Amino acid sequence: MRGKGNHGTCAGRGRGYGTFIRKAVLAELYLVAAAALILAGNWKKQQGSLLDASTRSPEGYIKWVDFDVSYEALCSAYQWDVNTYKKEHHVGWVELLAYTAARCGGKFDEKALQILEKAAGELAAGDTSLGDLTENLKYYDYYEEAYGAVLGGMVGEYQVRQPDEAGNLLYQPVYGLKAYFPLARGFTYTHYDDFGAGRSYGYQRKHLGHDMMGQVGTPIMAVESGRVEALGWNQYGGWRIGIRSLDGKRYYYYAHLRQNYPYAEGLKEGDLVTAGDVIGYMGHTGYSAKENVNNIEVTHLHWGMQLIFDESQKESDSEIWIDLYPLTCFLARHTQPAEKVEGTREWVRSTQILDPAVEAAR
């Protein structure tokens, strides 16, 4: 009886102790979970503070941009923009990309593409508005300004000289991409995402552009309409061209141009160029303080895009250069053919366009 009683007593004490332990463990788990939530909230606040601190100067202009928009997102947003143009509810590609970035922290993975498509469909159908979608998105305004600086001059209305039904060459209105791929149509090239790779000539630094390997003499096309700001020799870039977009926000840099004949005939600083114009020729000049030297081993075009939100950023330690690999892939859908000028080393564009921005700047 005693043993049975003791067994019963020990069993009873064991159940009571087990219940106590479970309650203690659960309480500890609740405390850990609560602490984690608090830490997560603080982390988000800290991340937000870091984003605010890292992207804006004390004067309020943007001082840093990570342009991580994927090729797929560029294609999708662009198609929504073109397909809804002049419809009741036009979906602008910059705004759509900025909304997606604000939702996804600037990263464009598969989930982000789903968010983009869903938002675009609702906007196009009139089921919601951009204001409603972005009302509580703290960083939407930042992404809209940043992405607008990158893409703002690339899509819009322009005119293309093409034959009408009777075969007469007339300027016809077009809406869509008015920026061009940086190489003339039909010329072979290879490339990969090399942004940020190490460079050692002169000093250790990161590669702040995009290299496209090809053949000497490949015609280089102006990606966007603009004004020539720089032309001549630079010991890093060799023969190079710098073109400022007409809204002042983008500085296009084309480097390592051909020895002895780097530029399109007559091109000079101050000239207005139209997107798709031949501006120069691929080579491998550079890495020399002496002019007209081929010290680059591989023939290629280096092209870069600097974003300028304030003139103090133009030539400074706070320059903003972005990764152009996805954008280069995207621009490959809009190439400009070029024709050889008989008896010369010159090439010229085959198709003429009228860009309203150029006409306004004349």
200, 349: one domain: yes
Inside any domain, residue 32: yes
Phi/psi at 317 (nearest 5 deg)? Answer: -80, 0
Burial zone of 185 (CB within 10 Å; 0-12 exposed, 13-18 middle, 19+ buried): middle
Do 195 and 116 reside in the same domain of the chain? no
Render pLDDT for 229-275 as a digit per residue (tens, 0 to 9): 999 999 999 999 999 999 999 999 999 999 999 999 999 999 999 99
31 and 80 assigned to the same domain:
no
182 found inside a domain: no
Distance CA 213, CA 197 (A): 16
Task: Quickly state the pLDDT bin for 196 (edges 50, 70, 90).
Answer: confident
Boundaries of domain holding 348: 190-361
Query: Considering the domain boundaries, does residue 177 fall inside one?
Result: no
Q: In degrees, to the nearest 5, what angle opens at C-alpha 302 toward C-alphas 183 and 332?
A: 35
Helix, strand and coil content of the chain, in percent to the nearest 5, comes to 35, 25, 40
Say whether both 30 and 80 belong to one domain: no
132-151 average pLDDT score: 97
Residues 297, 209, single domain; the answer is yes
Dist. CA 196–CA 70, nearest whole Å: 17
Looking at the structure, do residues 245 and 324 belong to the same domain, yes or no?
yes
The mean pLDDT of the chain is 87
Regarding whether 351 and 220 lie in a shared domain, the answer is yes
Q: Are residues 43 and 84 in the same domain?
A: no
Other CB atoms within a 10 A radius of the CB of residue 26 amount to 10
Q: Considering the domain boundaries, does residue 170 fall inside one?
A: no
Contact 221, 184 (CB under 8 A): yes
Region for residue 102 given its phi and psi (left: phi exceeds 0; alpha: psi -120 to 50; beta: otherwise): alpha
Same domain, 213 and 330: yes
pLDDT grade for 206, boundaries at 50, 70 and 90: confident
Which helix (DSSP H) or strand (DSSP E) does residue 238 occupy? strand 238-245
Q: Give how many domains the chain has, as a whole number.
A: 3
163 lies in a domain? no
Would you give the end-to-end CA distance of the chain in angstroms?
111
Which band of pLDDT confidence, cut at 50, 70 and 90, is reported for residue 59? Answer: confident
Q: What is the pLDDT of residues 304-349, one digit of tens each?
A: 999 999 999 998 888 999 999 999 999 999 999 999 999 999 999 9
Task: List beta partners, residue 190.
Answer: 213
CATH number, domain with residue 332: 2.70.70.10
Question: Which among 101, 125, 151 is the end of a domain?
Answer: 151
Residues 99 and 3 reside in one and the same domain: no
Q: Cβ of 321: how many Cβ atoms within 10 Å?
A: 20
Tell me, yes or no, whether 50 and 78 share the same domain.
no
145 and 226, same domain (yes or no): no
